[in-house]
Amino acid sequence: MGIPAVGAAVPVASLPAVALSANSGRPRVSIDELLNNLTPEVAAELREQVHAMIEQAVARHAQPMDSDSWKDVQGPIKVAAWGFHAAETGANNTAILQSAVDLVIYGVLNAPIELPPGASIPVSGRLFFGYGNTFHNATLRGQGKRYRGTLSNGSGTGLLHTGTAHFINIQSGRGVSMNDFTVAGDKAASYAAIISAASETILDEATWTAVGGNDRFSPHCGISIDAYIGDSPVSPYPAYTPPEWTGATGGYTKTSSTMTSFDGVEVIGFNTAFGNSLGDAASNGDFSSWNKCRVEDCKYAWSVGGTQSRTIEIKNSQAARVHTVFTNYKHGELSGRYGGLISNVSVGCAVQIVDFAGSAFLAGMAISNLYGESMWRMGNISSAASYEYPIRWSGGLQSYLWQDTYGSPGWFLEGTTMAEITLSQIAFTLVPSVLTFRPDNTVIDKCVLNQTARDDTITNLYEAYAHNALGGGFVVGCWNSAQNIKEQNPVFRPVNVETGVLETIRALQSDYTLTTREYCLPIYLRRFRPASEPMGAAYTRGVPSQSIAKSSLSSMTRSGRLITMVHTSLSDARALDRGWNPGNILVDLASGTVLFIYSRIGTTVKAIMQNNYKVSDEDESFTTFDLAAGTMNILNANIFALPFTTTGTVTSGSAVIMGVTNLAGSSAHISAIQVGDFYMGWSNTGLFSETNSVVTAVDAGAGTITLTGNATRSASNVDLMLWSRPGPANIVL
């Protein structure tokens, strides 16, 4: 048979039989039989348009009509020519688009499917990009995302989905590509209302859950990958029936996908924008990638549920007005692996960035250069201890304005104690006071915290001590064991604790040299060098805290953010040693609540909560802060070091330390020690009791320091580097 002219009519009967797919090996059928089995909703004229398209493509590429090679023609399948447009019904548009997809994934046509421009093209049903038979290299592309789905002018493709299940599901695909269109669900207004209400209820996940579509295995999802893996779950997606000619069956137990890519795709108004591996079984869904994508007005932006969904890449993308940006613990197996790189992502108006939990390890994933504003907390990173792999989060600026608006969370980064997390060179801004990190193995490396309340001068000096001790406000766990204390290295501006003036210099905690009485020592130091000996020997800071059971207190009460604790007994020496004077810090291990002490009179200690309170009602906490049960860590922020290496001689039965000098034989520098200070070396040397370690006199000329009680034994070359000062005067709040 000769090659027909472009546009020439070709009788249906004259079209040859073709193999449907080299991959599936299905029986040969005629093109007429194929068209007769398309979805019934497709109008009769669609048949003519399909014929015309095939005929023109064959003529254009000079393919012989008596072979199978016509299915290899190049050029996009323009579904607008098939009747897919904004004026058509959602049901018909669904049928037209599904028909085009079926022709491609079964090898009848080998060309990208091209969507027309339009702001709100209705597509009411689910679109199945595969039914379980493996297929390769299918592409769906539009004319560009329309930015929030509302742009009325210019090009761009906007699909309006009115269904309650997923819109597009990719199943058993290899190298599927989706590019340049917007998908809008029907929940955008509901999520937008949560944001615009400007109430602390925005922080409650239940507020977002109430919008609907939250099922673990069948969420209301914009675009999903492998929703039908595993056996049918307890809450499955509705049944579906593939076209008979495909030979496929509906339901679950389908094979999984790999190497799916999205470029320039926007999803708005769904419970979950992008869902990967939603079924109740281990699956691949691996090597999925997103570039220049955007999510808005959804509860979850990216959700990965499968333990084998590895090497996930998300880059150059944005998420706005969402509860959680990335999660692996809400769908499917509840143990998504991720394990790839998230880079150059921008976040705006989000309760939290990550929610990672479950039994799957995150396979050494990395987050790089994430920019965020109007957020509340970093989120949660928890996983089984036996599968711990490091997570590195580096670069970018993160602004937490919602803390100032609604209140600070208990744990800024919640999670299990075993998680290995390194935070490097991140700027945290618009934070009222502190950031708390529950994973003990968190490492702060050259990060900066800029607080909204921080001025060039700190009015209350108790805040100055706490500021220096926490490296600007970072609260990281694992203080009670010297072996487990991590090498924290935040960048911060130290405060002169006597004047409250914020210095212009920047301090790094590695090889710390700001060891004079005016600054005190950060609690995370593993080592420091005396201020006047920057090239000298390094000294160990030692264990920076003690713990106390709340049940050991006589009472603990709360009024708003103010906490009053009454001890059964508390001597001045114990307060200096353990850190119960103004300027010191308490951390509740159950809730992450941080307290700064501002007053001590006898056995009564008063402190103010720095986080875990609601702005609307300061008597309320976000995480339960139990005043009767549990344990608190006490962080001594009043410890300072002398500017020179200093030693002395102790004689049994004497309270006077003699021959106090530096390496050059001078004792002038010990004038930095004042009456009322406390010798912190008492417990390490065993030379004095706690009660006998308070300074009663200092003679710099004679090189002597007198304590309150006698030494228990004699010793020479005694280390005299570390001391605790009483802290600032009490204030009334």
Per residue in 676-727, pLDDT tens? 999 998 887 889 999 999 999 999 999 999 999 999 999 999 999 999 999 9
The radius of gyration of the chain's CA atoms, rounded to the nearest angstrom, is 34
Min mean pLDDT across 33-47, 91-105, 312-326 is at 33-47
**What contacts 342, CB < 8 A, 6 or more positions away?**
312, 313, 314, 315, 326, 365, 366, 367, 368, 370
The C-alpha angle 358, 594, 549, rounded to 5 degrees, equals 85
Q: Which helix (H) or strand (E) segment is 414 a member of?
A: strand 413-415
Taking only the tens place, the pLDDT of each residue in 392-446 is 999 999 999 999 999 999 999 998 767 778 999 999 999 999 999 988 788 899 9
Q: Which pLDDT band, with edges at 50, 70 and 90, does 450 fall under?
A: confident
The C-alpha angle 478, 426, 484, rounded to 5 degrees, equals 15
User: Token match 């999660």: residue?
Assistant: 327
**What contacts 69, CB < 8 A, 6 or more positions away?**
63
- Give me the mean pLDDT over the 313-327 stretch: 97
pTM: 0.88
Q: Is the pLDDT of residue 268 over 90?
A: yes
Taking only the tens place, the pLDDT of each residue in 186-202 is 999 999 999 998 889 99
The answer to whether the beta carbons of residues 352 and 323 sit under 8 Å apart is yes
- Integer Cα distance of 197 and 179 in angstroms: 34
**pLDDT score recorded for residue 479:** 56
**pLDDT score recorded for residue 484:** 56
CATH of domain 545-638: 2.40.10.170
Taking only the tens place, the pLDDT of each residue in 9-23 is 333 333 333 333 333
User: Token match 């009663």: residue?
Assistant: 696
- Integer Cα distance of 444 and 437 in angstroms: 10
CATH topology identical between 118-355 and 545-638: no
DSSP code for 644: S
- Integer Cα distance of 391 and 374 in angstroms: 24
Domain ranges of the chain: 1-114, 118-355, 545-638, 642-724
- Integer Cα distance of 693 and 726 in angstroms: 13
Q: CA distances (Å), 704 to each of 322, 659, 695, in order?
A: 64, 6, 11
Min mean pLDDT across 49-58, 221-230, 364-373, 390-399 is at 49-58
User: Token match 């001045």: residue?
Assistant: 572
Of the candidate CATH numbers 1.10.3470, 3.40.1130, 1.20.120, 2.160.20, the domain formed by 118-355 belongs to 2.160.20
Q: Is the pLDDT of residue 590 over 70?
A: yes
Q: Which of 669, 632, 629 is nearest to 647 (CA)?
A: 669
Please write down the HEC assignment for all residues of 610-643.
CCCEECCCCCCCCCCCCCCCCEEEEECCCEEECC
- Give me the mean pLDDT over the 385-389 stretch: 55
Over the chain, what is the mean pLDDT? 86
Higher per-residue confidence, 689 vs 136: 689
Min mean pLDDT across 290-304, 504-518, 519-533 is at 504-518
User: Kind of pairing, strands 29-30 and 17-18?
Assistant: antiparallel
Q: Which pLDDT band, with edges at 50, 70 and 90, does 167 fall under?
A: very high
- Give me the mean pLDDT over the 73-91 stretch: 84
Looking from the CA of 178 toward its CB, the CA atoms found within 13 Å total 25
**pLDDT score recorded for residue 9:** 35
Taking only the tens place, the pLDDT of each residue in 254-267 is 999 999 999 999 99
Q: Which pLDDT band, with edges at 50, 70 and 90, does 360 fall under?
A: low
Q: List residues bridging with 118 in a β-sheet.
A: 157
Q: What is the share, in percent, of the chain residues with pLDDT greater than 90?
A: 62
Higher per-residue confidence, 524 vs 653: 653
**What contacts 197, CB < 8 A, 6 or more positions away?**
none
Taking only the tens place, the pLDDT of each residue in 613-670 is 999 999 999 999 999 999 999 999 999 999 999 999 999 999 999 999 999 999 999 9
- Integer Cα distance of 528 and 522 in angstroms: 10
**pLDDT score recorded for residue 7:** 34
- Integer Cα distance of 442 and 155 in angstroms: 46
**pLDDT score recorded for residue 55:** 52
DSSP secondary structure, 307-334, as one string: TT-BS-EEES-EEEEEEEEEESSSSTTS
**pLDDT score recorded for residue 82:** 85
Q: Which pLDDT band, with edges at 50, 70 and 90, does 31 fall under?
A: very low
Q: Is the pLDDT of residue 509 over 70?
A: no
Amino acid at 223: I
Q: Is the pLDDT of residue 74 over 60?
A: no
Min mean pLDDT across 19-33, 81-95, 223-237, 658-672 is at 19-33
- Give me the mean pLDDT over the 316-328 stretch: 97
Q: Which pLDDT band, with edges at 50, 70 and 90, does 525 fall under?
A: confident
Q: What is the share, in percent, of the chain residues with pLDDT greater than 70?
A: 84
